[in-house]
Amino acid sequence: MALVATTVPPKDDVARLLAQAHFSVEPGVLRIFRVVSDAARENDPREPIKLLEVNSDTVPAGILPVYFGPHNASGILYPSVVIEVTPEEYEAISHGRLTLPNGWVLGPELPRTAA
């Protein structure tokens, strides 16, 4: 009997997969950024992947994080939080006029990859 090692993909990899799924279905998504807590929390698998999505098709309504559970069958093995903002709201965040909740800070951008 062969032994099969199963590993859970790192949160960074799953975040990239989730971001590409969101790019693929919505042309209005212009940019996606990780949003991160402190390192200790981010190393906890229960801490959600947090994405800030700049979407030209959304409405300005401030920072509204929306929590979703994991989808194991789709390879999204971690819970996630999506914060969707307009390009103008993103500018306000990046200039400190609009702040993220829970001590979260803007992390690296997840660029759109070629299909």
- Alpha-carbon Rg for the chain in angstroms: 15
Find the angle CA(57)-CA(59)-CA(63) to the nearest 5 degrees: 115
CA distances to 4, 11, 71, 72 from 34, rounded to whole Å, are: 32, 11, 19, 20
Asked if residue 113 binds another protein (CB under 8 A), the reply is no
Min dist CB 25 to another protein, Å, is: 4
Min dist CB 63 to another protein, Å, is: 10
Asked if residue 18 binds another protein (CB under 8 A), the reply is yes
Note the residues at the interface with another protein (CB under 8 A).
Answer: 17-18, 20-22, 24-28, 57-59, 61, 64-68, 71, 73-76, 80-82, 84, 101-102, 115
